[in-house]
Amino acid sequence: MISRVQTKLVKDTSCTNGVGKVSDVLEGVKVLDLSRILAGPYCAQMLADLGAQVTKVEAPWGDDTRGWGPPFLEDGTAAYHLSCNRGKEIIFHDLKKDKQAIQDLISKSDVVIENFRPGQLERLIGPIPNDVILCSITGFGQTGPRSQEPGYDLALQAMSGIMSITGEEGAGPVKVGVAWIDIITGLYAGNAILAALFKRERTGKNSHIDVSLWDCAIASLANQGQNQITSGQNPGLLGSGHPNLVPYQAFQTTDGWVVIAVGSDSQFEKLSQYLEFENVWSTNELRVNSRKEVVDMVQSKVIDMTKSQVCDLLEGIPTSPINKISEAIADAQSIARGVVTEWNGESVLASPLRFISEREK
């Protein structure tokens, strides 16, 4: 049996920071989190940040992510689990044996979040009452030929095309450095739940929300997806480069890497002046069509500089060092914004949401 020491909700500490706090926007809203791993728990954590009372049900042996380490907390729980479960009260039930207990929890909830395969939750515990908002998060959705297939972030990054555009040319595809699709699916689900709560406030009707990793992955292709639809051509691997802008990527310096993100012709003209080369690519179209030549020119000019020298020189042009996570967290802006806070005695990443003040009409 898992220890319950770390599960009690500490109401204020998960939301405070140096600027303001995520207020009690959802105070009084009761959320039952029956989901596992990341997408669903991340969604429920966001609702907890907004003031909802979130109760998470885990199996008696705990969520799988409790063992996804190292690193581990002092109580033996993996840091991964803490990253998407702060702000919740966690209880333990065997859904197969404790059907009535789960139904009782549902009857007291406004929102239920689950990520079982379509129809599986009902087969386990019986029908879900219509007087709650039900958010079902699955790999491929409630309908379609793949609806009964499980969904995993890495597999979805591969299948959706994300990995086909991530990585250096010649080196092969790579995944995004975090569970990208799980995270955005959690955010989409959170948005849908907020909309469903608003709808219920206006109409009194509850919604069953169908959110899938597949749909969210395809939606996240954004400009790359639209580029393919419009041109009929599949984009390839560009590393840190941009399919529609040049130069807009990472460049090596003597002590690390920087990114230079030129977003306009005027910025490129400034770049040519700062780095002292002739601007023979005065439009973005010319630069995209001469990508290698432009990138090689810029790289040759910064290769003997330090990161700070490049950033100082290119004032007015979006230029940043490529930081390690520790450097980003220690940045003065991070400290000012309170991006790290405390929950139950552990340092955790804070909610990025800030409710600064009430605006009077």
Residues taking part in catalysis: 182
Spatial separation of the C-alpha atoms in residues 291 and 171, rounded to whole Å: 18
Helix axis angle, 291-302 to 265-275, nearest 10°: 40
* Cα end-to-end distance, the chain, whole Å: 53
Name the DSSP class of 115: -
Residues 6+ apart with CB under 8 A from 83: 348, 349
CA within 13 Å, CB half, 286: 9
Dihedrals φ, ψ of 94, to 5°? -95, 110
- E runs forming strands in 161-272: 208-212, 248-253, 256-261
Tell me the torsion sign for CA atoms 187, 352, 17, 323. Answer: positive
Question: Is residue 214 within 8 Å of residue 160, measured between CB atoms?
Answer: yes
- E runs forming strands in the chain: 30-33, 53-58, 89-92, 111-114, 133-138, 208-212, 248-253, 256-261, 319-321, 340-343, 346-349
Spatial separation of the C-alpha atoms in residues 133 and 156, rounded to whole Å: 27
Spatial separation of the C-alpha atoms in residues 220 and 216, rounded to whole Å: 6
